[in-house]
């Protein structure tokens, strides 16, 4: 059996791989992105990599967490702006109070209730890092991993990592490959692949934080959002799904027609209270294994930049930046203020290992976990 899941591919030009352990203050130029930050993490070296297509859509990555650091796309006036939040140095990522900016997420994206589930009749206990639950792989999540980086061609970079048996409590040696690329249709692709030597669970994604008006440009509440989902998975007070699939119709979660993020975010609603805003999984309509579904469209109100999300995944986590607390400083010098960035994470459902009715995330020896997603950029006509 081949599991189908999603992530993004970028055409990448590897700019530099050499590192200097003393150069922790080196920076990525936040405007030109022509320079490369170099530092050292334990026994593995880290670097920043710059890629671009013929339209000068440009992305910056680091192998620390397999992160998207910057993504430069043209706005409606033809100006190129950075729509992904991030930092200038790996040190800043290490010290950030928000550990997931731009990171490749694994081995299980989103939450697992109380860090426990049963697999093949055996109990599995994970590390806890989000209240009573495990979030994004727990304390051993991929956001802190230094991936091996390999340039496949001028447009593609591949990050790989071996998550060892029982790392974070997860069984099995999990071999992970994530390939990012940008094509000349201005699409940022993410391709995920993984194999295991023991039965395990796997749910990979990317946690880029976007502001389509530009990093540090202020609130995202006036961004226009459409999500192709007629149902979502409501959550309890710890953000664990209840197991039900509820209709979005008649609720603040109905984004079947374009609606601003802020239009109903302050509505008196138990689910919005639980998430402190939007931090919920949407059940995508019409997703089929091996084929892409159009999951969402987001439009920057000032820039006119349009981001369409396509995926092979059954779910999409929409997060409205509710836990951003102005404690970190981005590349351009602005703080990570409340709701100044959002995330659209393609995924299998949260807590699937404890919910048999949800699409399975179980991966067995001899199977290949394989999924793809992409973000397509354009401007309003």
User: Mean pLDDT, to the nearest integer, of 244-270?
Assistant: 98
State yes or no: pLDDT of 228 exceeds 90.
yes
Is residue 28 predicted with pLDDT exceeding 50?
no
- 79 Cβ partners below 8 Å, 6+ apart? none
Rounded distance between C-alpha atoms, residue 232 and residue 367, angstroms: 29
Per-residue model confidence (pLDDT) at position 34 = 36
pLDDT higher than threshold 50 for residue 133: yes
Mean pLDDT lowest for which of 8-17, 33-42, 155-164, 203-212? Answer: 8-17
Query: Across residues 212-219, what is the average pLDDT?
Result: 98
Mean pLDDT of the chain, nearest integer: 89
Catalytic residue check, 345? yes
Give me the domain span that covers residue 297: 2-379
* pLDDT, tens digit, 9 for 90 and up, residues 65-109: 999 999 999 999 999 999 999 999 999 999 999 999 999 999 999
User: What's the rounded mean pLDDT across residues 35-64?
Assistant: 78
> Integer distance in angstroms from the first to the last C-alpha of the chain?
43
| Spatial separation of the C-alpha atoms in residues 275 and 100, rounded to whole Å | 17
Average pLDDT of the residues in 7-27: 30
pLDDT tens across 264-318, in order? 999 999 999 999 999 999 999 976 666 899 999 999 999 999 999 999 999 999 9
Q: How confident is the model at residue 44 (pLDDT cuts 50, 70, 90)?
A: confident
By CB atoms closer than 10 A (0-12, 13-18, 19+), residue 320 is buried
Tokens describing residue 60 = 């910056």
The answer to whether the beta carbons of residues 95 and 88 sit under 8 Å apart is no
**Which among 109, 99, 160, 118 has a CA at the least distance from the CA of 137?**
109
Annotated catalytic residue, options 136, 155, 189, 207: 207
pLDDT at 381: 87
Of residues 350, 326, 344, the one with CA closest to residue 113 = 350
Q: Tell whether the model's pLDDT for residue 52 goes beyond 80.
A: yes
Q: pLDDT digit string (tens) for 161-184?
A: 999 999 999 999 999 999 999 999
* pLDDT on residue 88: 95
- The predicted pLDDT at position 10 comes to 29
Confidence of residue 123 (pLDDT cuts 50, 70, 90): very high
Least confident of 41-45, 367-371, 373-377: 41-45
| pLDDT for the residue 289 | 64
Top pLDDT among 29 and 321 is at 321
Give the tokens for residue 6: 């999603």
Contact criterion met (CB below 8 Å) for 54 and 186: no
C-beta separation of 214 from 81 below 8 A: yes
Matching residue, tokens 């995920």: 192
Of 8-17, 72-81, 198-207, the range with the lowest mean pLDDT is 8-17
Q: What is the DSSP string of 64-99?
A: BTTEEEEEEEE-TTS-EEE-B---SSHHHHHH-SST
CATH of the domain at 187: 2.70.98.10
155 a catalytic residue: no
Q: Is the peptide bond before 139 cis (omega within 30 degrees of 0)?
A: no
What's the CA gap between 344 and 321, in Å, rounded? 11
CA distance linking residue 331 with residue 337, whole number of Å: 14
Listed in order, strand segments (DSSP E) in 262-360 are 279-284, 293-299, 305-311, 315-319, 343-347
Give the pLDDT band of residue 239 (cuts 50, 70, 90).
Answer: very high
Active-site residue, from 167, 193, 345, 355: 345
Contact between 291 and 120 under an 8 Å Cβ cutoff? The reply is: no
Q: What pLDDT score does 287 carry?
A: 65
DSSP per-residue letters across 152-167: EETTEEEEEEEE-TTG
- The count of domains in the chain is 1
Chain centroid to CA 14: 21
Cα separation, 13 vs 378, whole angstroms: 22
* Cβ 3 vs Cβ 363: under 8 Å: yes
- Residue 352 phi/psi, 5-degree rounding, is -55, -35
As a whole number, mean pLDDT of residues 136-149 equals 96
Please report which confidence band the pLDDT of residue 56 belongs to, taking 50, 70 and 90 as the band edges: confident
Residue 240 reports pLDDT greater than 50: yes
Tokens representing residue 113 in the block: 């209730």
Q: What is the DSSP letter of 211?
A: -
């Amino acid at each position: 059996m081949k599991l189908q899941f999603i992530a993004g591919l970028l055409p990448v030009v590897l700019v530099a791989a050499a590192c200097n352990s003393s150069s922790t203050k080196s920076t990525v130029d936040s405007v030109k992105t022509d320079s490369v930050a170099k530092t050292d993490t334990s026994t593995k070296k880290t670097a920043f990599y710059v890629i671009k297509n013929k339209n000068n859509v440009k992305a910056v990555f680091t192998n620390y967490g397999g992160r998207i650091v910057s993504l430069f796309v043209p706005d409606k006036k033809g100006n190129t702006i950075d729509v992904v939040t991030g930092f200038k140095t790996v040190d800043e990522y290490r010290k950030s109070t928000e550990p997931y900016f731009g990171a490749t997420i694994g081995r299980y994206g989103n939450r697992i209730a109380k860090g426990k589930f049963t697999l093949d009749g055996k109990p599995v206990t994970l590390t806890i890092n989000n209240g009573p639950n495990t979030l994004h792989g727990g304390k051993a999540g991929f956001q802190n991993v230094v991936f091996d980086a390999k340039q496949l061609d001028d447009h593609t970079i591949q990050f790989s990592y071996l998550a060892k048996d029982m790392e974070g409590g997860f069984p099995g040696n999990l071999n992970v490959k994530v390939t990012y690329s940008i094509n000349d249709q201005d699409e940022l692709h993410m391709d995920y692949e993984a194999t295991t030597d023991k039965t395990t669970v796997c749910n990979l994604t990317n946690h880029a934080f976007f502001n389509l008006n530009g990093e540090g440009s202020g609130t995202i509440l006036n961004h226009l959002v459409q999500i192709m989902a007629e149902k979502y998975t409501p959550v309890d007070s710890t953000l664990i799904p209840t197991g039900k699939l509820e209709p979005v119709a008649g609720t603040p979660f109905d984004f079947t027609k374009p609606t601003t993020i802020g239009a109903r975010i302050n509505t008196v609603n138990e689910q919005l209270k639980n998430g402190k805003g939007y931090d919920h999984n949407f059940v995508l309509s019409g997703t089929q294994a091996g084929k892409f579904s159009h999951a969402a469209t987001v439009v920057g109100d000032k820039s006119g930049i349009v981001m369409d999300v396509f995926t092979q995944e059954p779910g999409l986590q929409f997060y409205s930046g509710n836990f951003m607390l102005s404690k970190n400083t981005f590349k351009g010098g602005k703080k990570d203020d409340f709701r100044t960035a959002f995330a659209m994470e393609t995924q299998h459902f949260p807590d699937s290992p404890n919910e048999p009715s949800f699409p399975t995330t179980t991966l067995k020896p001899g199977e290949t976990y394989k999924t793809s997603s992409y973000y397509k950029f354009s401007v309003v006509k």
